[in-house]
Amino acid sequence: MKAIICAIAIVLSLSAAAAAAAESTATVQADQNAETLATHVCSNCHGAGGDSRSPTFPRLAAQQAPYIVAQIKAFRANTRGEQEAHDYMLGMVALFDDATAEALGRYFAKQPEPAGTPGDPKLMAEGRRLFAQGANVQGIPACATCHGADAHGNGIFPRLAGQHAPYVVKQLHAIQEQTRKSPVMHGIIKNLTPEQMNAVAVYLQSLS
């Protein structure tokens, strides 16, 4: 009897090890595919390692992996309704499976943080105040609450440090106008003025 139990245990152990090895192999393969994809395709707009040059395309370097995965799924589900999402990303991400999306998330998350670009000091100061303290009169909480004191993000809350200011402004408008579906963020920024958007975006672009 003991021998049978031992045999079953060995078989189960081997099966679990084999499954783990297979999963590990699949992950390695997905990471390799993502690296090729990021290097050969994504880099054309998002820049080397996700450090894009054009403000039309967001910087993805050092971005939170869960956020990237969530956005790929949002593009696929068409819940990001801004025109650029349709024009540039919808077709691209349609080719990704979940494993590739997660691997791309890991790839960009491990890239070096993009350098910040200082802007107008007055705007940066106003943006810093908004980011750190919010605007009580308008019912706007501090951005840092979710995005982190250094704006490096946390999980599905994106990293904003070093992001192109025009891109941040465009996304704030898209969320405010609900072309980009983000119910929580919409509630938070519904009273944010264009001037405040610009100030906080200039501040965020200055961070690294």
Partner 1 sequence: MRKLAKFVSLSLADMLILAFAATPAEAVPAFARQTGQACVACHVSFPELTPYGRMFKLSGYTIGQRQALPVAAMAQVGDTHVKDNKDDQGNAIVPKTDQLAFSAISLFLAGKATDNLGAFIQWTYNNLNVNDAGKTVGHSGSDNTDIRLVGRVENTDKTDVRWLYGATLHNNPTVQDVWNSTPAFGYPFTVPPNGIGPIAGTLVDGALAQQVAGMGGYVFWNRTVYAELSDYRTADGVFSWLRAGQDTHTPGGVLRLKGNNPYWRFAYNRDWGANSLMVGTYGLIADVYPDDTLPGTPTDRYTDVAVDAQYQYITDPNTVTAQATYIHEKQDYRASYPATLAGNPIGVGPTPANPRDTLRTAKLKLSYYYDHRYGATLAVFDTRGTLDSGLYGTGSVGGSNNGKPDSRGYIAELSYQPIQYLRLMLQYTGFDKFNGARRNYDGFGRTASDNNMLFLNAWFAF
Residues in contact with partner 1 by CB under 8 A are 35, 38-41, 43-45, 47-51, 53-56, 84, 86-88, 90-92, 94-95, 111, 166, 170
As measured in angstroms, the least distance from the Cβ of 35 to partner 1 is 5
Work out whether the CA dihedral 116, 120, 126, 127 comes out positive or negative: negative
Give the count of beta carbons closer than 10 Å to the beta carbon of residue 144. 17
**CA neighbor of 34 nearest in space, from 1, 60, 4, 7:** 60
Q: Shortest gap between Cβ of 144 and partner 1 (angstroms)? A: 27
| Cα-trace Rg, the chain | 21
Nearer to partner 1, 2 or 40 (CB): 40
Q: Between 49 and 162, whose beta carbon lies closer to partner 1? A: 49
Give the largest Cα separation in the chain, rounded. Answer: 80
Please state the closest distance from residue 98 (CB atom) to partner 1, in A.
17
Minimum separation from the CB atom of position 64 to partner 1 (A): 18
Residue 87: CB minimum distance to partner 1, A: 4
Output 172 or 188, the one with its CB closest to partner 1.
172
Q: Which is nearer to partner 1, 82 or 182 (CB)?
A: 82
User: Is the Cβ of residue 35 or residue 148 nearer to partner 1 in the bound state?
Assistant: 35
Which element (helix H / strand E) includes 26?
A: helix 2-37
Identify whether the C-beta of residue 196 lies closer than 8 Å to the C-beta of residue 123: no
> Which residue reads 């672009």 in tokens?
205
